[in-house]
Structure 1
Amino acid sequence: MDSFPKDPVADLDWSHVGFGLTFIVFNSVVSQVLQLHLGTSLVVASLRCVVQLTLVATILQQVFAAKNIWAIAGIAFLLNLIGTFEVVVIKAKRRCKDMFRVVFVAMVASTIPVTILGLQFSMRVFPFWTPMQFIPIVGMQCGNSIAGVLVLLSFLLKELDENRDKTETLLAFGASRFEACRPLAIESLRLALMPTINQMSVIGIISIPGTMTGAILGGADVAQAARLQMIIMFMLSASSALSCIIVALFTLYICVDSEHRIRSDRIYARHHPFRRAGSHAARVAVGSMRRVWVVLTGFVKQLLLQGAVVSNGNDGDSRSERAPLLP
């Protein structure tokens, strides 16, 4: 398979990134005007984006240059670990017992084998652990699996926690835990896999996906870029389905015990303590920034008012006409 060209289309520096941040400023203004209360989330997400991508770029430059299989394997497992942390700690509204281990095992068992098989046999990359192909594809599969697993867990845990009557009725009439939970598993898998199916349905007609766009912008042949995107979409579909199936089976196994009882004590409705601490720290930081902004704007207004008074020769009335420090 043809590799991507090494020369970038444009030499981008931090000034270009700063201009791109104006779109985040626009979103923040819209959120403030419409009172959507998304300003904190936008600021935190944009800062995470900058820090994470900068850190990843620095690390991957060293890994690409070294071409060490153990470093590549470590990066792949680290991506799955961070993805698991994102699901369990940051995003999930409900959690269950051993959820971190379940999600991590499902992510590793789905992304790594699918990537190896896809690179070795579909994309014809030799060796399959070539870092410029292996690491980005593992990262894409982790991101896609995160979305599916989140939808699945949200539905399953909500049904077992709030809408448990139907499942308990089936258990009371003698159904095993697998028979009683089968409708939940089927519906949760439908919901989790539907975004990937919809994405494949509209790809190429309504939207041009990121991998194909990046290859085209990099100067690759359009036909090659299209075939590459097809293979990657099929790999994403397989890894997402596999990870969701594993998570669904283990979650139901944990939340419905061998005595065929729904264990509500193993389902936690509160956010993870780490997330609560992070949210509190973010609110404190944003509040401090707002107070500093108010003080600075008040100080600037006062200076401008003093300058206008002095220029008009009204020094005697300047004190009474000064604006307060805090509006």
Structure 2
Amino acid sequence: MDEAPEGNHPYLGYGNVGIAAAFIVLDVSVSFALKLGVGTSLLISAIRCVVQLSLMALVLDKIFATKHPAAVFGLAALLILLGTLETTLDKCKTRFRYMFPSVLLSFVSSVMPISIIGSIFAIKNVPFWTPEQYVPILGMLCGTTISALVVVITATLKELHENRDKTETMLAMGASRYEACLPIAKDSLTLALTPVINQMSVLGIISIPGLMSGAILGGSSVEQAAKLQMIMMFLIASSTALATIVITFLALSIVVDGDHRLRSDRIDTRDVAVHRAFFAVMHGIAYEFGRIKEKMFGSKEDGGEHERLLG
């Protein structure tokens, strides 16, 4: 439930959200008018944003009220699981065998330890799982890590699938799978980490980051807001780098096996099974609907032709 504004903090309702959403509607209208093809995805993402953040606000309100570590760690497990599912089933169009446990391992081995250690020593939360501080940290780490994982997985599998001759030639000439895959790992990791590196390099010069702006709006001093932004940026960058390194080497070790063979059969470029089943069901419904429609309208047309011949 919305609360009354405190101090100089403005009260924001869904009317304010609607004003900001009007700019999204404008962009969607421009896309549809010019047939750019980005309007639908932009609109769906905006709707998802409203629904998901509204649900998240309800959940966090309950967790902040309970202040129980079990609730905090339960939410952490849920965020990591949803991030793994989002990466595996929705964002990545190309997948590899054992991708779900690999992505889950990369999340757990990077986001969890960095968020806990950073909360204890860098931000000095006591206790470290204090919901108001730990949950936002975990959420920011998960969000950035998902984007980087999608980029590095897509780039790695694309190179192995489309330019397999290059890798197979190196393996045939006696290179180990580490030597053959190292150039792919370098290029994929560079591509995935470039946004984070660029973001760190322009903070404070070209852009004022969102977290620092939020801290200032929340009443913190500018100095404290800047230090908080530095800490969070380093946590985000380290978590993203560690997760992408883990998933890259897991993917390469699975697709290029221990016998130094490129296993293209372990790369799947088809739609996810859930998507295939959904499209199959929708196709079947559309087909049956078309048959019924054709049968109904066909009989009417035949009847009209029969009457004209008799008349």
Question: If the length of structure 1 is used for normalisation, what is the TM-score?
Answer: 0.81
Instruction: Tell me, yes or no, if the aligned pair for 1:7 and 1:218 is still in contact at 8 Å.
Output: no
Aligned to 1:105: 105
Aligned to 1:166: 166
Residue 252 of structure 1 deviates from its aligned partner by: 0.6
Instruction: Tell me, yes or no, if the aligned pair for 1:90 and 1:275 is still in contact at 8 Å.
Output: no
Identical positions, percent: 50
Residue 220 of structure 1 deviates from its aligned partner by: 1.2
List, as ranges, runs of 4+ consecutive aligned residues in structure 1 with deviation greater than 4 Å: 5-8, 275-282
- Write the letter of the residue equivalent to 2:152: L
Distance change >3 Å, CA 15–CA 176, structure 1 → 2: same
- Write the letter of the residue equivalent to 2:78: L
1:233 aligns with 2:246: no
Instruction: Tell me, yes or no, if the aligned pair for 1:93 and 1:270 is still in contact at 8 Å.
Output: yes
Residue 275 of structure 1 deviates from its aligned partner by: 4.4
Instruction: Tell me, yes or no, if the aligned pair for 1:64 and 1:131 is still in contact at 8 Å.
Output: yes
Instruction: Tell me, yes or no, if the aligned pair for 1:168 and 1:262 is still in contact at 8 Å.
Output: yes
Distance change >3 Å, CA 190–CA 113, structure 1 → 2: same
Mapping of 1:154-233 within 5 angstroms? 154-233=154-233
Supply the distance in 1 between the matched residues of 2:216 and 2:259 (Cα, whole angstroms). 57
Where does the alignment leave 5 or more consecutive residues of structure 1 unmatched?
A: 283-327
Supply the distance in 2 between the matched residues of 1:262 and 1:8 (Cα, whole angstroms). 62
1:116 aligns with 2:112: no
- Write the letter of the residue equivalent to 1:176: S
Residue 280 of structure 1 deviates from its aligned partner by: 9.7
Aligned to 1:24: 24
Aligned to 2:248: 248
Mapping of 1:47-196 within 5 angstroms? 47-196=47-196
Supply the distance in 1 between the matched residues of 2:155 and 2:78 (Cα, whole angstroms). 27
Distance change >3 Å, CA 28–CA 138, structure 1 → 2: same
RMSD: 2.0
Instruction: Tell me, yes or no, if the aligned pair for 1:76 and 1:135 is still in contact at 8 Å.
Output: yes
Aligned residues: 278
Question: If the length of structure 2 is used for normalisation, what is the TM-score?
Answer: 0.85
Supply the distance in 2 between the matched residues of 1:281 and 1:21 (Cα, whole angstroms). 34
- Write the letter of the residue equivalent to 2:186: I
Supply the distance in 2 between the matched residues of 1:221 and 1:271 (Cα, whole angstroms). 49
Supply the distance in 2 between the matched residues of 1:39 and 1:74 (Cα, whole angstroms). 36
Mapping of 1:269-284 within 5 angstroms? 269-275=269-275
Residue 172 of structure 1 deviates from its aligned partner by: 0.2
Aligned to 2:308: none
Supply the distance in 2 between the matched residues of 1:6 and 1:135 (Cα, whole angstroms). 22
Residue 7 of structure 1 deviates from its aligned partner by: 5.9
Deviations 1:25-56 (A, max 9, x none): 10111101221122221221111101100000
Supply the distance in 2 between the matched residues of 1:236 and 1:182 (Cα, whole angstroms). 25
Aligned to 1:302: none
Instruction: Tell me, yes or no, if the aligned pair for 1:92 and 1:271 is still in contact at 8 Å.
Output: no
Distance change >3 Å, CA 132–CA 281, structure 1 → 2: farther
Supply the distance in 2 between the matched residues of 1:128 and 1:6 (Cα, whole angstroms). 26
- Write the letter of the residue equivalent to 2:206: I
Supply the distance in 1 between the matched residues of 2:31 and 2:122 (Cα, whole angstroms). 45
1:267 aligns with 2:267: yes
Instruction: Tell me, yes or no, if the aligned pair for 1:177 and 1:260 is still in contact at 8 Å.
Output: yes
Distance change >3 Å, CA 13–CA 280, structure 1 → 2: farther
1:35 aligns with 2:41: no
Supply the distance in 2 between the matched residues of 1:165 and 1:122 (Cα, whole angstroms). 47
Distance change >3 Å, CA 178–CA 275, structure 1 → 2: same
Supply the distance in 2 between the matched residues of 1:13 and 1:279 (Cα, whole angstroms). 38
Supply the distance in 1 between the matched residues of 2:277 and 2:30 (Cα, whole angstroms). 27
Instruction: For residue 117 of structure 2, give the secondary structure of its aligned residue in structure 1.
Output: helix
Instruction: Tell me, yes or no, if the aligned pair for 1:64 and 1:132 is still in contact at 8 Å.
Output: yes
Supply the distance in 2 between the matched residues of 1:167 and 1:89 (Cα, whole angstroms). 27
Distance change >3 Å, CA 169–CA 44, structure 1 → 2: same
Instruction: Tell me, yes or no, if the aligned pair for 1:255 and 1:267 is still in contact at 8 Å.
Output: yes
- Write the letter of the residue equivalent to 2:49: C
Supply the distance in 2 between the matched residues of 1:113 and 1:133 (Cα, whole angstroms). 16
Instruction: Tell me, yes or no, if the aligned pair for 1:77 and 1:108 is still in contact at 8 Å.
Output: no
Distance change >3 Å, CA 44–CA 277, structure 1 → 2: farther
Instruction: Tell me, yes or no, if the aligned pair for 1:255 and 1:264 is still in contact at 8 Å.
Output: yes
Instruction: Tell me, yes or no, if the aligned pair for 1:171 and 1:260 is still in contact at 8 Å.
Output: yes
Deviations 1:209-238 (A, max 9, x none): 111011111121111000000000000111
Supply the distance in 2 between the matched residues of 1:8 and 1:115 (Cα, whole angstroms). 31
Aligned to 2:295: none
Instruction: For residue 19 of structure 1, give the secondary structure of its aligned residue in structure 2.
Output: helix
Residue 82 of structure 1 deviates from its aligned partner by: 1.3
